Structure 1
Amino acid sequence: MEYRAILFDTRSIQRYIYSGNRLKTNIGASYLVKHVFTDIVIPKLEEKLGEGSVDVDSWGKEPDMDFLAVPGHCAVVYCGGGKLLLVVSFEENGVEECRMLIRDISTELLVACPGLHIGAAFTAVHPNQPDEFQKEIDSVYSLSKQMQNRVLPAVNVPYPGLTMNCAVSGETASYYDAGREVQTDGEARFYSQEIYVKAKYAEKANAELKKQFADIIGDYRFPFQFDELGQRATENYIAVVHIDGNNMGTKFRNCKSQTEYRRMSEDINTKTVGCFGKLLEKIVNEYESYQDFLTLKDNILPIRPLILGGDDVTFICPAKLAVRFAKYFMELMADSASVPGIKSEAAKVIDSCGGIGIFKTSYPFFRGYQLSEQLCDAAKVRMRSEEAAEGSSWLDFAILHGEQAPTLEQIRAQEYAGARGSMHFGPYQVGHSDGKLPKSHRFDIENLLDCVAQFHSGKCMAKNKIKEMRSVLQHGEFEAVSFADQLRHQNQHVPKVKNWEVYEQEENSYWSGGRTPYVDAIEMMDFIPKGE
C-alpha cells in the first residue's frame, strides 16, 4: 500500500475577495473562499473516489490507519486557513492517479468559482511513521510555496467572442444577469461570470452569518451595500479594519503533529469567532446611541465581517466606529477569559496587530484593503521594536482623502513629513497589564482618545486654533513657539494628556524625539465621536 499527500491551497485571496466596489460581491467571494473545500472539493472527491471513501473528521482526533488500509480511500488531515491537506491510499504508484484527481477537481473549480486561484502539490508519505510523516508534510508545504511563484494558472475563460467588459471586474461580460443577482435595481445587465458567481453566494453568506450569531443579534441583520452601514451623506467615510494575530507561525511550528496542529487551529478559530460575537453583543447594546452620528435603518448593523476565522479578521464599518470596534476586539483576543472552553494554551491569549484604512465609499475598495494590510504590517514593526513589551498588541490607522500615493510609505512621506520630523505618532498600543508594561506609555491608544475628547470639548482650545495647529506643526520651531505664545496670551493650551507631558513643555513646543502626537488627534476628531 502506498500513500500520497495532496495539498490544495487558495492563492491571491485578497484580490479575489476585495476586487470591485460592490459589497455584495465581496461578501459572496469571502463565502466562496471559506467554503470552497468543504462545499466543492470534498464532494467532488467523494464523487470521484466513491461514496464513503472520504474520512473528514477522524484525523482531527487521531489518525485512522484502518480506514486508509483500503485502496482509494482518502483522509482529510487538515482543512482551514485556505488549505486542504489530504492523504490518499493507492495499491500501487499513485502519481498518475493524483494528477488525474487534481485535474478533475481543477476543472470543477473553473466552473464553480471562476477567478479563484487554487494551487496543488503532492508527494509520497508514510502516515504510519509519525516522525517521517511530519517531515514529508513539511516538504509538501514547501513544494506548494515554490509552485506559487512558478505556476500562474488561467482561472477565467478569456475572450469567448464577446467584447463588452464587466463594469465591476473589467473581465469579459459573458453572463446576462436576468435574475438581478448582482444589481437588484434598474435594468438587467451583462457581467463577468466571476462577478455573477460571487453575487449568487452573497445570500448564503449572510444567511450563514445570521445563523452563526442568531442568539446575539436577534432581529438585527448585516448590510449588503456600503451605503447601508449608516454613514451620512456629508460624512461618507467607511473603514476597512484588518487584524492579524502575532507570531502565529511560531505557535504552529511548535506543534508536534498534524493532529495537534488541527486542534490548535480549531481553538484559535473558536477564540476569534467568540470574540467577534462579544463585539456584536456590544454593538447591539449600544445600537441606539449610534443614531447620534449615524443614520441606521431597518435594524441593519453598522458592521460586516468579510474574513472571520483563524487569527485573521477583516471587517468594514463606518469610519466613526472603527477605532472603537478594533480596540474592543483586540482587547478581547488578548483576554484569556473572554471565550471559555479553549484548551490550547496558545489560543487562550492572542496578541494581535491591526490596521484601519479610512476612505470614502467611492474609493477603490481593493486599494482601501491594501492600505489596512500595510497599516497592520506597520503595527507589527512597532510590536517587534524596543519600544514595545513582549506580548503587546498594536493598532495603526491612515485616512485617504481623494487620490493619494498608492503605498503607506509614500503617503506618510508626502503627507506627514514635517520640518521637525514625523507628524504621524502611531502605531498605538492596545491594552496592557501591570505585568508587561512597555518602556513608555506614550503610545497607549487611551492617550489619543483622551486628547481627541479634550479637543472635542472646546475647553482647552478653540476650533479655529485646532485647525491652525495642524498647519503650524508642519513647519519649523519658530512657528510652533509663536503659536504657543498666542495660546498662552489667549488663555488656551493643548490638551493635558497623561504620558504626553514632554510634548507640552515650552522648550519642546509640541515635539520630542522627532515626533508629535497632536496631528493624529486633530485628524481623528472627524472619526472618533464626541464622548469616546
Structure 2
Amino acid sequence: MEYIVLSEISRKQDFIFRSNKLKENIGASIIIKYITEELSNKYVTQFHGDVIYEAGGKVLYRFKELDSVKNFVREFSKEVVIEFSGIELFIIHQAFDPKVDEISTIIDEAYKKLERKKSERKTTARQISFGLHKICHSTQMPATYIDGGKPISSEIHKKIEFSKKHESYFSNLLPKGYKYPLEFDDLKGAEKSFIAVVYIDGNQMGKKLKLFKELHRYTGEISLEQHNEMYLHKLAEFSQNIADAYEEAFKEMTNVLSRDQQLLQEKLKIDQAMLPIRPLIVAGDDITYVTNGEIGIETARIFLEKLSSKHLTISDTENIPLNASAGVAIVKSHYPFSKAYKLAEELSENGKRRILSDYKEKDFSILDWHIVYGELSGSLQQIRKQYYQLKDTEGTPFSLTMKPLYLNNKDSFRSYSNFKESLKNISKSDVARSKLKELREVFKEGPSRSKVFIEINQLNSLFNYLGNMQLTNGFTTDHVCLYFDAIEMMDLFIEIKEEK
C-alpha cells in the first residue's frame, strides 16, 4: 500500500493582505512560498517521500510507508504551528494500491477529503489573549514584540523578518540590474498617489484538467501500475508547464516595462534602479502584484498578451492556448489593501462572467478595472448597476462602460483596442480637458442629453465614430458608451511602449 498526501495553506490571501504595509505583505508572501517549497521539501526528503506537484498553496506528495506519512505530517505541521502564527495548514492522506487503484481517482478523492476537512475547521475556536496585552494594529492579536516603538504580534514580527529576504525571492522575475520596491510610496511616483492591485487568474483551468484526465485515462494497453507512474509524471509536467508559462509572461512583462526608460524616469519619476512593480503571489495560474496606479492597466494588458501567445501541452497531440482574466483595482496608496485585493478579485471574476455570457465554448483573455477615489460601498456588481447601468429620462436603459474588455477577440466592440483608440482620439483632439470632464457628467444622463451637448459644442466629428465603427453621440446602437471609459481614465493612464 502507498499513500498520497495533500497539503494546503488555506486563506492565504487573508494572511498576505490583512496588513496595509507592503513590507508585511511581501514577508507574508515569502512565508507561504517558503513553507510550500523549502520547508515541506525538507521534511519530504527526511521521510523519504516525493513531491508530485505544487500549485496555488496546495502540494501533492507521495509516500511508500504509513509511518513516513505520520512522521512527515507531525514534524511539518509542528514547525508551521510553532513558527508561523496566522497560517492555516490542512493536510490529509489517502491510501492506494498502485496495482489496483487508478491514481487519478485517488487524487480526486484526496481533494474531496481535503475540502471536507476544511469545511469542518474543528479547532478554529481558541483563546488568544487574557486581556493583559497590547494589541497589534495589523492583526488585532496580542503584541509580543516592539518594532519601531509600535507593538506587533508574532505573526507580523515573522513577516517583517522574512521581508528582509525579499531579494532572493521572485528575483528570477526581475530584469537584471533592477530591484523591487519595499514601500507603497516607492510605487506611486512623484505626482500621483495611486497604486494598482492586479489579480490575474487562468481561464477554464478546470476544463483543461478535465481534458488532461480524459486524454490520459487508463486504456488497459499497459499494466495499471505502469499507467499510474506515467500519469503522475505527466501530471507533474502539466502543472509545471502552467507555472512556467505564467512566470514567463510575468518576466516578459517586466522586461517590456524596464525598457521604457522614458516612462520610468520622466513620467513616473521612479528611482532608475527600481522597477515600480512587486509580485505578491505567483502560484501556477494565480498571480497577484502591485504596481504604480497609472500603469496598472497596461502591465495587465502586456501580461495577458504574452500569456495568450503561449500554448499548454495537454498530450502529444493536444495543445491549447492559455487565456486569463485580469482585474485591476486602482486605489490610493493608503487604501485598505485587503479591500483593494477583494475588488481586483471581483473584477477578474466579472471578466469571466462576461466571457460565459457572450460565448459558451470559446475562451479569450479579458481585462476589467475600477478606480476608487474614496470609500467603496457595495460589491462591484452593485456599483456597476448603480453608477454605470442607468436609464435616461424616458426610461431607456444605457451603459456608461464597455468593460470588461477583450484582449484577443476581434469580433466584439468591447475590446481593449477600442478603449485605446477612444483614448487616442480624445488625447489628439483640441477639446479642452475641462470640456471632456463636463461631457463625462453629461454622458451619465444618457444618449439624448449627450446629443444636445455634443451638437452645441460641435463635437460630432469626434464622438460619432470609433475606428470603423459608426456611433451616435458616443453610443452604440445598443446604447453602450464607448468614450466614457477613456475620459474616466485619461488622467490615470500611461501607455507602455513596446519595442518592435
Q: Structure 2 vs 1, CA of residues 98 and 151 (structure 1 numbering), >3 Å: closer, same or farther?
A: farther
Deviation of residue 347 (structure 1)? 7.2
Equivalenced residue count is: 475
Instruction: Specify the alignment match of 2:41 in structure 1.
Output: 42
Instruction: Specify the alignment match of 1:208 in structure 2.
Output: 169
Equivalent-residue separation in structure 2 for 1:410 and 1:195 (angstroms) = 34
* 8 A contact 2:27–2:166 mirrored in 1: yes
Q: Structure 2 vs 1, CA of residues 345 and 193 (structure 1 numbering), >3 Å: closer, same or farther?
A: farther
Instruction: Specify the alignment match of 1:502 in structure 2.
Output: 471
Greater Cα offset, 465-474 or 413-422: 413-422
Deviation of residue 393 (structure 1)? 1.1
Deviation of residue 101 (structure 1)? 4.9
Greater Cα offset, 384-393 or 34-43: 384-393
Which has the bigger relative contact order, CA under 8 A and spacing at least 6?
2
* 8 A contact 1:455–1:495 mirrored in 2: no
When the two structures are superposed, what TM-score results if normalisation uses the length of structure 2? 0.87
Instruction: Specify the alignment match of 1:470 in structure 2.
Output: 440
Q: Does 1:357 find its partner at 2:329?
A: yes
Which of these residues, 159, 167, 178, is aligned with residue 220 of structure 1?
178
Q: Does 1:267 find its partner at 2:241?
A: yes
* 8 A contact 1:23–1:225 mirrored in 2: yes
Q: Which amino acid aligns with 1:525?
A: M
Which of these residues, 292, 295, 306, is aligned with residue 332 of structure 1?
306
Instruction: Specify the alignment match of 2:285 in structure 1.
Output: 311
Which of these residues, 293, 301, 314, is aligned with residue 275 of structure 2?
301
Instruction: Specify the alignment match of 1:414 in structure 2.
Output: 386
Instruction: Specify the alignment match of 1:7 in structure 2.
Output: 6
* 8 A contact 1:6–1:122 mirrored in 2: yes
Instruction: Specify the alignment match of 1:517 in structure 2.
Output: 482
Deviation of residue 258 (structure 1)? 2.7
Residue by residue over 1:145-167, the C-alpha shift from the partner in whole angstroms, topping out at 9 and shown as x without a partner, is 12222115449971166431112
Equivalent-residue separation in structure 2 for 1:454 and 1:168 (angstroms) = 45
Which runs of structure 2 are paired with 1:128-143 in the superposition (5 Å)? 128-129=99-100, 131-143=101-113
Q: Does 1:125 find its partner at 2:90?
A: no
Classify the secondary structure of the residue corresponding to 2:28: helix
Classify the secondary structure of the residue corresponding to 1:493: helix
Deviation of residue 194 (structure 1)? 0.8
Equivalent-residue separation in structure 1 for 2:462 and 2:283 (angstroms) = 46
Instruction: Specify the alignment match of 1:67 in structure 2.
Output: none
Deviation of residue 359 (structure 1)? 0.5
Classify the secondary structure of the residue corresponding to 1:229: helix
Q: Which amino acid aligns with 1:194?
A: E
Q: Which amino acid aligns with 1:422?
A: S
Q: Which amino acid aligns with 1:246?
A: N
Which runs of structure 2 are paired with 1:71-150 in the superposition (5 Å)? 74-90=49-65, 94=66, 101-129=72-100, 131-150=101-120
Equivalent-residue separation in structure 2 for 1:365 and 1:412 (angstroms) = 21
Q: Which amino acid aligns with 2:113?
A: L
* 8 A contact 1:117–1:153 mirrored in 2: no
Q: Does 1:528 find its partner at 2:486?
A: no
Equivalent-residue separation in structure 1 for 2:161 and 2:33 (angstroms) = 15
Equivalent-residue separation in structure 1 for 2:460 and 2:108 (angstroms) = 67
* 8 A contact 2:7–2:91 mirrored in 1: yes
Classify the secondary structure of the residue corresponding to 1:385: helix
Residue by residue over 1:290-320, the C-alpha shift from the partner in whole angstroms, topping out at 9 and shown as x without a partner, is 3332121251111111112311211111111
Instruction: Specify the alignment match of 1:431 in structure 2.
Output: 408
Q: Which amino acid aligns with 1:221?
A: K
Equivalent-residue separation in structure 2 for 1:103 and 1:457 (angstroms) = 65
Equivalent-residue separation in structure 2 for 1:469 and 1:249 (angstroms) = 44
Q: Structure 2 vs 1, CA of residues 225 and 157 (structure 1 numbering), >3 Å: closer, same or farther?
A: farther
Q: Does 1:196 find its partner at 2:161?
A: no
* 8 A contact 1:252–1:261 mirrored in 2: no
* 8 A contact 2:188–2:195 mirrored in 1: no
Q: Which amino acid aligns with 2:475?
A: Y
* 8 A contact 1:162–1:173 mirrored in 2: no
Equivalent-residue separation in structure 2 for 1:195 and 1:348 (angstroms) = 42
Equivalent-residue separation in structure 2 for 1:319 and 1:79 (angstroms) = 32
Residue by residue over 1:380-400, the C-alpha shift from the partner in whole angstroms, topping out at 9 and shown as x without a partner, is 111223368823111111111
Classify the secondary structure of the residue corresponding to 2:108: helix
Q: Structure 2 vs 1, CA of residues 309 and 239 (structure 1 numbering), >3 Å: closer, same or farther?
A: same
Equivalent-residue separation in structure 2 for 1:481 and 1:23 (angstroms) = 46
Which of these residues, 189, 200, 218, is aligned with residue 231 of structure 1?
189
Q: Structure 2 vs 1, CA of residues 391 and 372 (structure 1 numbering), >3 Å: closer, same or farther?
A: same
Residue by residue over 1:83-108, the C-alpha shift from the partner in whole angstroms, topping out at 9 and shown as x without a partner, is 12223333xxx4x9856653443221
Q: Structure 2 vs 1, CA of residues 346 and 174 (structure 1 numbering), >3 Å: closer, same or farther?
A: farther
Residue by residue over 1:92-145, the C-alpha shift from the partner in whole angstroms, topping out at 9 and shown as x without a partner, is xx4x9856653443221112221111112222211344x533212211111111
Which of these residues, 139, 157, 182, is aligned with residue 169 of structure 1?
139
Which runs of structure 2 are paired with 1:347-496 in the superposition (5 Å)? 349-386=321-358, 390-419=362-391, 420-432=397-409, 437-438=410-411, 440=412, 442-459=413-430, 461-488=431-458, 493-494=462-463, 496=465
Q: Which amino acid aligns with 1:502?
A: L
Classify the secondary structure of the residue corresponding to 2:164: helix
Residue by residue over 1:7-49, the C-alpha shift from the partner in whole angstroms, topping out at 9 and shown as x without a partner, is 1112111111111111111111111222213322332455xxx
Deviation of residue 209 (structure 1)? 2.4
When the two structures are superposed, what TM-score results if normalisation uses the length of structure 1? 0.82
* 8 A contact 1:375–1:397 mirrored in 2: yes
Q: Which amino acid aligns with 2:42?
A: P
* 8 A contact 1:244–1:353 mirrored in 2: yes
Q: Which amino acid aligns with 2:144?
A: S
* 8 A contact 1:115–1:156 mirrored in 2: no
* 8 A contact 2:188–2:333 mirrored in 1: no
Instruction: Specify the alignment match of 2:294 in structure 1.
Output: 320
Q: Which amino acid aligns with 2:253?
A: L
Classify the secondary structure of the residue corresponding to 1:220: coil
